[in-house]
Structure 1
Amino acid sequence: MTALTHSAPSRLRFDLWWLPRGILLGLLAFAIFGPLANLLLWAVTERWYFPHTLPLEYGFSFWARVFSPRGNAMESLTNSVIVAILAVAVSLALAIPAGYALARLKLPLRGLILLVFMIPQAFPNLPVYVNVARLFYEIGLNGTIAGVVLVHVTHGLVFAVWIATAAFAAIDVELEQAARSIGAGPLQTFRDVTLPLAMPGLMASAIFVFLESLDEFTGSYFVGAPDVNMLPLLLYNAGAGGNYQVASITALLLLIPSVGFMLVVERFLKADVLSRVGR
C-alpha cells in the first residue's frame, strides 16, 4: 500500500512532464508550418482582408494572371532555370578538378585554399554586388544572362568545392591503386573508378548550387534587373506592391523544387561524405 502511495505522485509528475514538451513541440510545429499554411491560403485566395481570420473567397484567378503572357512568370521561371543550370555547369567544371586536387594532392596551405572559397560568404552581399554591378556595367555584362550566371557561380563554388573535396576524400585510395595496377592510366582510372564513386556527392553539390542560384535575389537584382527577369525579383516586386496572392504563388514555384531536391540530397549525401568536409 505504501509503495502504491509513493508511486502515484511520481507517475503524476512523469505524466505532467509531457505537458511542457507538448506545448514546446506545438509551438515549434506552428513556427514551421504556420507560414507555409498561410502561404497556401494566400495562393488560393480571391478576397481576404482585416479583421477576417480566413479568406472570404477562394479561387484560382490569380494563378491564371501569374501565368498569363503579361504576368512574366513563365519568362522569369525560364530565366531562373537557365541561369541555375549554367551556374551548376560552370561550378562543377571548376569544382571537380579543384576538389580532386584538394582531396588527393599534398597541397601546401590546403586549409587556406578551402577558406578562400568562403570569402564571398564572409562579406555583406549588398556592398559587394553594388561594386560588381558597376564593374559589369563597364565591361558590358550588366543586364545579361552571362553576368547573372557569373555572380551566382561565386556563391555556388562554396558548396561545389567543399562537397566535391569531401566526396573525393571519402573514396578509398586503394581502389584507384588497384585500377592502376592492372594497366589503367590516370585518366581512365579517374573516369571509370573515381568519378562514378564520387558521383553521389557531386550530384548533391550540383543540387545545392542549383537551389542557391534559384533563390539568389541580391545578385540577380543588382546585375540582372530590369533586363533579366528572375523568380526572386518577381516575388519581391509582388510582395513590395502588396499583391500577396502573386507573391505566394511565386514563392510556391520556388519552394517546390527546393523541397524535392533536398529530399534527393538527404538520400545521396551520406555521413561518410559529410564527415570529411573541411578535412
Structure 2
Amino acid sequence: MLPLLLGLTAFVVFGPLINLAMWAFTEQWFFPNRFPSQWGFAFWERVFRPRAGAWEALYHSVTVALAAVALSLALAIPAAYALARLALPLRSLIMLVFLLPQAFPNLPIFVNIAAMFYGLGLNGTLFGVVLVHSLPGLVYAVWIATAAFSAVDRSLEEAARNLGAGPLRTFLGVTLPQALPGLIAASIFVFLDSIDEFTGTYFVGTPDITTLPILMFNASMGGNYQIAAITALILLVPSVGFMLIIERFLKADVLARIGR
C-alpha cells in the first residue's frame, strides 16, 4: 500500500513537470501520439528572438519583483519591529489586518484597484504594477519579519546598551544582523510571489507592461503550448532555487514564532 501511495504522490507532483518539460522541447506532437514525434530547440530560439518580447517580459518581471521586495521590506521592517517589541494595543488585530489581502479572492480586489489606479493615472505603469505586487508581498514580509525580530536574543541587545551603544547602533549592529536570515527569507517569498503574479499585472499593467506570466498566458490562449511551457520553465528556475535558500535561512526558532 505504501509504495502505491508514494508512486501516486510522485505522479501528482512530477507528472505535470515532466509533461511541461516535454512540451518545452517538442517541435511536433499530434494526436493520437502519446509522445512527440519531433524534438528540438526551435521554439527556444523563437522565444528569445529580439522581437518576441521575452527579454522585455523578463526585464519587467525582475524589475517589478525587486522593487516590490524593496517597498515591502521598507514598510515591513519598522512595522514588524514594533509588533515584535512594543506592547501595542490590539496587536493580534493588526496582524490579522495584514492577512486580509489573502482572505478574499484576488480577482475582485485587483479589479477595484485597477479602477482606482485608472483615476490616478497609474494603469500601464511600472510603479502601479509594483504597488499591486507589494500588496500580497506585505503579508509575507510583515509576518516573517515579526517572527524574525521576536527570535532575536534580547540579552545581546542589553549587553550592547550596557557597553554604551545607542538605540540605533544597537539595532544596526546587534538586532538587524540576528534578524537578517528571516528578513532574507521574507524577501525571497515576496520576490517569488511577485515574479509569479498574474492577476494584478493583467488588470493594472497590460497592455503596456508585459511580464513572464502575461507572456505565458497569451501563448497558452493562442495555442502556442511550446512557448507557454518554455516560459513556465523559466519561471520555475528561481522558484526552485530560492526555495532551497529559504530552507537554509528560515530556521526553526523563527518559524515557531510566526503568528505569535
TM-score (norm 2): 0.99
1:229 aligns with 2:216: no
C-alpha displacement of 1:174? 1.1
Q: Deviations over 1:192-212 (max 9, x none)?
A: 000001000000000000000
Partner amino acid, structure 2, of 1:204:
A
1:61-210 map, 5 Å: 61-210=42-191
1:215 aligns with 2:196: yes
Q: CA separation in 1, counterparts of 2:208 and 2:130? A: 14
Q: Deviations over 1:32-60 (max 9, x none)?
A: 11111111110000000111111000010
Q: CA separation in 2, counterparts of 1:255 and 1:52? A: 27
Q: CA separation in 2, counterparts of 1:47 and 1:97? A: 54
Q: CA separation in 2, counterparts of 1:104 and 1:21? A: 47
SS in 1 for 2:123: coil
The percentage of counterpart residues that share the same residue type is: 67
Partner of 2:251: 270
Q: CA separation in 2, counterparts of 1:42 and 1:165? A: 42
Q: Deviations over 1:102-159 (max 9, x none)?
A: 1011111111101000111111111111111111111110000000000011100000
Partner amino acid, structure 2, of 1:180:
R
Partner amino acid, structure 2, of 1:141:
L
Match 1:251 to one of 232, 245, 258? 232
Partner amino acid, structure 1, of 2:161:
R
Q: CA separation in 2, counterparts of 1:131 and 1:96? A: 28
Q: Which stretches in structure 2 are left out of the alignment for 5+ residues?
A: none
TM-score (norm 1): 0.92
Q: CA separation in 2, counterparts of 1:174 and 1:166? A: 17
Q: Deviations over 1:158-205 (max 9, x none)?
A: 000000000000011111111000000000000000000100000000
Q: Deviations over 1:186-244 (max 9, x none)?
A: 00000000000100000000000000000000000000000001100001111111111
Q: Deviations over 1:56-110 (max 9, x none)?
A: 0001010010000121110000000000000000000011111111101111111
Match 2:11 to one of 30, 33, 40? 30
Q: CA separation in 1, counterparts of 2:2 and 2:147? A: 38
Q: CA separation in 1, counterparts of 2:40 and 2:124? A: 36
Partner amino acid, structure 2, of 1:199:
L
SS in 2 for 1:25: helix
RMSD: 0.6
Question: Following TM superposition, where does structure 1 have runs of at least 4 consecutive aligned residues deviating by more than 6 angstroms?
Answer: none
Aligned length: 260
SS in 1 for 2:51: helix
SS in 2 for 1:114: helix
